Chain A
């Protein structure tokens, strides 16, 4: 075999090995996406309810598990909190939530996450035994699928102008 032929053979073999390695890596990435837990709309709404209920219960462990470390929480006042600040305000009682309920939630999925959005009733406990302050907001929660489970990465509330719609009879 000539030197030239030998070089070409070596190059061809290396190309095959690299191509196989590349395909394996690509398939691995596809498998990662495939192993992300698939969620239905009902499951996403249930997850949203878990977050709301944990906030009402001031369950720091549960809220923490459901929030990404880099989550942004934008309140209806426009005030912004990090995950740590939100949990701290719940545990210190600075933020006491008596009601947190999304109605008619809409779910929009995207690759790797979902947006859950809808009109939301929020009751805040007022100091001194005064009646709770009731807020009607449009809340959007962005959930992302992480290897450890689904977590909130953005929660934003916007007050809905005008009186809330009367309940249907």
Chain B
């Protein structure tokens, strides 16, 4: 009788322990969703890579799903585009990348979002029939991601073109910290 009673109590306690995270106010994420507390720097770098790969693939639907409706995209020449303008430029071929890579990424996570920043190399696709070499840009890019109930969304992407590298033979001057 005592054994049976103890077994019942143990079962009840085990059930409660199993349900504790839910009862104590935790949330259960659906597959593909990440709560901010569980999103790592690596997750954010992967998210950034996904955005870049979709842009290179010209996948407007995929890119759209990763951008907030009010997103701002600032190109290396200072031109600003809304989400709709960025997607249109992709869809019409006005903006066609053959390469979009982030090197040496740095991630800063803040309450509600994160910044993924680093060196960005972009190569534009040459126009059909063109013999000119593809245009390559080296930039410093920052992407700001915000956490929404439906997932992480890009709200700002800004690139700043880096000065052309100095010839290897010449001594490299200390870059001035200028605006």
Contacts and interface: CB of A to CB of B under 8 A. Distances in A.
Interface of A: 3-4, 7-8, 10-11, 14-15, 18-19, 21-26, 68, 70, 72, 74-81, 85-86, 89, 94-95, 97, 100, 106, 108, 110-113, 115, 117, 122, 124, 133, 135, 137-138, 140, 142, 144-146, 153-154, 156-161
Given A124-B178, A158-B74, A10 B108 contact: no
Nearest to B112: A112
Given A110-B155, A144-B110, A153-B108, A14 B68 contact: no
Interface of B: 1, 4-5, 8-9, 11-13, 15-16, 19-20, 22-26, 68, 70, 72, 74-80, 106, 108, 110-113, 115, 117, 139-140, 142, 144, 146-148, 155-156, 158-163, 175-179
A78 B159 CA distance: 9
**What DSSP secondary structure best describes chain B's contact surface?**
mixed
Contacts, number: 178
B156 A18 contact: no
Given A4-B8, A68-B110, A112-B113, A22 B25 contact: yes
Contact of A117 (B80, B117, B179): B80
B78 A138 contact: yes
A4 B12 CA distance: 10
A161 to B, nearest CB: 4
A-B pairs, 6 with minimum CB distance: A112-B112, A22-B25, A160-B78, A3-B5, A11-B12, A18-B23
Nearest to B159: A158
Contacts of A75: 160, 177-179
Contacts of B77: 158, 160-161
A158 B112 contact: no
Nearest to B155: A110
14 contacts: A3-B1, A7-B5, A11-B15, A21-B24, A78-B139, A79-B176, A95-B178, A110-B112, A112-B110, A112-B111, A113-B112, A135-B179, A137-B179, A161-B79
A110 B110 CA distance: 12
Given A22-B24, A138-B78, A76 B72 contact: no
Contacts of A146: 111
Contact of B156 (A72, A97, A100, A115): A115
Nearest to B21: A22
Contact of A110 (B24, B106, B139, B146): B146
A81 B144 contact: no
Contacts of A122: 179
A97 B179 contact: yes
A110 B113 CA distance: 9
A44 B178 CA distance: 25
B92 to A, nearest CB: 21
Given A74-B142, A124-B179, 12 more contacts: A10-B12, A11-B16, A15-B16, A72-B142, A75-B179, A79-B175, A80-B117, A111-B112, A111-B147, A117-B74, A124-B178, A158-B158
A26 B74 CA distance: 37
Contacts of B142: 72, 74, 154, 156
